[in-house]
Amino acid sequence: MFMSEDSDISLKLNKINNNTWELPCGYKAGMRVPGRLFLSPPLLEILEQGTLEQVANVATLPGIQKYSMAMPDAHLGYGFPIGGVAAFDREEGVISPGGVGFDINCGVRLIRSNLKENDVRPRMQDLLEELFHAIPSGVGSKSRLRVNDGQLDDIFINGARWAVENGYGVPKDVEMCESQGMMEGALIKQVSTKARQRGRPQLGTLGSGNHFLEVQYVDKIYDTKTADAFGLHEGQVTFMIHCGSRGAGHQICTDHLRTLTQASQKYKIDLPDKQLACAPTDSSEAQNYFGAMVCAANYAWANRQVIMHWAREVFQNFFQKDADELGMDLVYDVAHNVAKLEEHIIDNKKQEVYVHRKGATRAFPPGHPEIPAHYKDVGQPVLIPGSMGTASYVLHGTLDAMEISFGSACHGAGRVMSRAYAKREFKGEQIKRELSEMGISVRATQPALIAEEAPEVYKSSSEVVDVVHVLGIAKKVARLMPIGVVKG
């Protein structure tokens, strides 16, 4: 069964408030800090025992600050839970590839438009077909782009900027990306030949699994002032891209996980789970991984930028409107699998920490130097995609998030059912029909793929977002409803 069989989870936790639970240090030997889970009582009820173990395991790692955290969408990962946030001191702490995940800088990009729901709904299936053909998805799909080694270096170093400089987009796109679509500190020598070979043919591809393109409309505004700043209003069509660094990122994580597994022994770090492999922040092993991770993160930003460019071309041709008329401007692009060196206030003192967000979104407040100037007064847009057929949300970052969760929020809905179970329970054609009755078109390479991402296999995105909203770590701005989905 997909639900926890251990109904006593809440007995192991101390209730801090209705949506915050503490896992005490006494839960497991070696925990250096308590765990902290941000869950409503119904979400707590479906938490798996294994997720709790993973929160506890992360709490044993050297240099961890304040808490090992789990966001409301948390579920079982490998090593770190998905929906996990952990900050490690710059000097005393560690860096861990397991705290980032294999799909480095998997993330979400939201594009607004001047189109209205009624402009697209009657022609949705045709538009999806165009998008499906313009943007390769699924296993073994071939990109329209094939980059050489020199270009790959440039992409690893410059991310989305490379794409814009090469004609995929406009300069203001990069200003609207987290880290301006380019993290500093890329170490291209730490990217293996294998990672390069996987990266070369895949730039400009969506991938598969839970990755998607979605045509949506804004169906509800919660905060007009912030929505205005984000350029969002009711009835407007938006477009969302969810994908990551493809094989290049997977290989970079695979390669460095190997090295760091050995490094953990070398530095005598006691690991409750091999997938937690890590090394002291200033060790060559940790820094080499971090520099390679930056390369993958930048590749992912370039990837989403190229995909957005092709999507804009499709919309322009399809609606016979030019770029200005369409107004397909980037609202924001967030990473939800990445580690970053950030400054946070801990015990009333400024401290530099490596914040690992694995299935968690950065949620920086108004006035923070690392958010676009245009959003200075309202805070960073926090993009939370729903599962296929359910609402996505736009929120904004807050000062409370800096205090409560190292400026982090949830990243999506969070799975409650395995893909294998979903395939046994659902038939793709049936899900497609049900979605169609709800006014949502879906395009995938084959209908069977739709079953594994059926809306029922995820927690409710609304419930997850409500926890974040009530806690104040990000506040709701707008709700987006899907009209058409290209499933990767």
Question: What minimum distance in Å lies between the beta carbon of 245 and another protein?
Answer: 10
Q: Is 144 in the site for another protein (CB under 8 A)?
A: no
Size of the site for another protein (CB under 8 A): 52
| 133 binds another protein, rule: CB under 8 A | no
CB of 243 to another protein, least distance (A): 12
Least distance from another protein to the Cβ atom of residue 247, Å: 4
Contact letters (x/-) for another protein, 88-127, by CB under 8 A? ----------x--xxx------------------------
Query: Cβ closer to another protein: 103 or 117?
Result: 103
Q: Which stretch binds another protein (CB under 8 A): 11-19, 136-144, 289-297, 401-409?
A: 136-144
Contact pattern from residue 174 through residue 213 relative to another protein, giving x for each residue in contact according to CB under 8 A and a dash for the rest: --------------------x--xx-xxx----xxx----
**Binding track, positions 442-461, relative to another protein; x by CB under 8 A:** ---xx-xx--x---------
Residue of the chain from 20, 25, 27, 76 that contacts another protein (CB under 8 A): 76
| Interface with another protein, residue 313, by CB under 8 A | no
- 123 versus 266: smaller Cβ distance to another protein: 266
Site for another protein contains 159 (CB under 8 A): no
Site for another protein in 387-416 (CB under 8 A): 415-416
> Toward another protein, which CB reaches closer, 158 or 210?
210
Return the active site residues. Answer: 411
Instruction: Name the one range near another protein by CB under 8 A: 60-68, 258-266, 325-333, 375-383.
Output: 258-266
**HEC string for the chain:** CCCCCCCCHHHHCEEEECCEEEECHHHCCCCCCCEEEECCHHHHHCCCHHHHHHHHHHCCCCCECCCEEEEEEEEEEECEEEEEEEEEECCCCEECHHHCCCCCCCEEEEEEEEEEHHHHHHHHHHHHHHHHHHCCCCCCCCCCCCCCHHHHHHHHHHCHHHHHHCCCCCHHHHHCEHHHHCCCCCCHHHCCHHHHHHHCCCCCCCCCCCCEEEEEEEEEECCHHHHHHHCCCCCEEEEEEEECCHHHHHHHHHHHHHHHHHHHHHCCCCCCCHHHCCEECCCHHHHHHHHHHHHHHHHHHHHHHHHHHHHHHHHHHHHCCCHHHHCCCEEEEEECEEEEEEEEEECCEEEEEEEEEECCEECCCCCCCCCCHHHCCCCCEEEECCCCCCCEEEEEECHHHHHHHCCEECCCCCECCCHHHHHHHCCHHHHHHHHHHCCCEEECCCCHHHHHCCHHHECCHHHHHHHHHHHCCEEEEEEEEEEEEEEC
266 binds another protein (CB under 8 A): no
Binding site for another protein (CB under 8 A): 2, 48, 75-79, 82, 98, 101-103, 138-141, 194, 197-198, 200-202, 207-209, 246-247, 250-251, 253-254, 257-258, 261-262, 273-275, 277, 415-421, 423, 445-446, 448-449, 452
